[in-house]
Amino acid sequence: MTASAEPAEITTTTLRQAVALAERPARPSAIAMTLTFGWRALLKIKHVPEQLFDVLVSPVIFTLMFTYLFGGALAGSTSAYIQFLLPGILVQTIVIVTVYTGYTLNTDITKGVFDRFRSLPIWRPAPIVGALLGDTVRYSIASVMTIGLGLILGFRPEGGFVGVVLGVLLLLVFAFSLSWIFTILGLLLRTPNAVMGVSMMVLMPLTFASNIFVDPSTMPAALQRFVEINPVTHLVTAVRGLMAGQPDGSEIVWVLVASVVLTGVFGPITMHLYRTRH
């Protein structure tokens, strides 16, 4: 039996030769980078499933509470009220969930991950746009939970499956554009709890002073005027019409235009803050 050969001496040159590539790999496209960061957002949900607590529990609590506490008083029966309430609860749930975009971004900043992303040779908007795309999965889960519970409680949309899907898609488009506002808060405020607190102070009046729970015609005149210009009211009316099989074209156009405006205004501001933040 012959003795084994002694291992070759490891030098810097041999190490470089071992890891050297014959060809330089192509730089990933902006879409590939964005999808990678979207996948990262989904992996965070996988490893920290508690993030879905609000998505899974909040719509259940609000739907059950308002249906059985106020349904009889406001609509005469819970079955009648759920037809009016459910599209509004769906909008409220998704709008509130958009806060987590800024919350998770601020968490990355406090942990130093933010600075690491900015040092990488990647398309600059990829971390933020990818996070927004990943959050659409969170919105979709919340939508399925809310609609599923509504069907159990007696919700029967006249618009059928197509109307429900179109209503959810319209809501997702608006939620994506609204998330840019909370990314700005995530970049400006110092702590995740501050982002959550300020965001809720803004969203609570917008969601409760709207047509989600009651017909605005029963409200005082001054409050009615606020409800009429409230963007949440327009969104609820558009989604409610699609699910009821009576789409309101003007409200749908209003929501789409508002989504474009929100993205066009707050998207560039977000990216400016992202590039210049120290």
Category of 191 on φ-ψ map: left (φ > 0), alpha (ψ -120 to 50) or beta? beta
The answer to whether the Cα torsion of 160, 162, 165, 167 is positive or negative is negative
Residue ranges of the alpha helices (H) in the chain? 12-19, 30-47, 53-75, 78-97, 99-111, 113-119, 126-153, 160-188, 192-208, 221-229, 231-243, 249-276
List, for residues 198-225, the tens digit of each pLDDT value: 999 989 999 999 999 988 988 888 899 9
Please give the C-alpha separations between residue 176 and each of 39, 87, 157, in angstroms, as whole numbers: 17, 18, 25
pLDDT in tens, 108-150: 888 888 788 888 888 888 888 888 888 888 888 889 988 999 9
Exposure class string for 44-58: b at 16+ Cβ within 10 A, else e: bbeeeeebeebbeeb
Low-confidence ranges of the chain (pLDDT < 70): 1-10, 18-19, 21-22, 25, 51, 277-278
Among residues 275, 277, 255, which one has the least CA distance to residue 124? 275
User: What pLDDT is attached to residue 7?
Assistant: 54
What is residue 6's predicted lDDT score, i.e. its pLDDT? 54
Predicted structure pTM score: 0.83
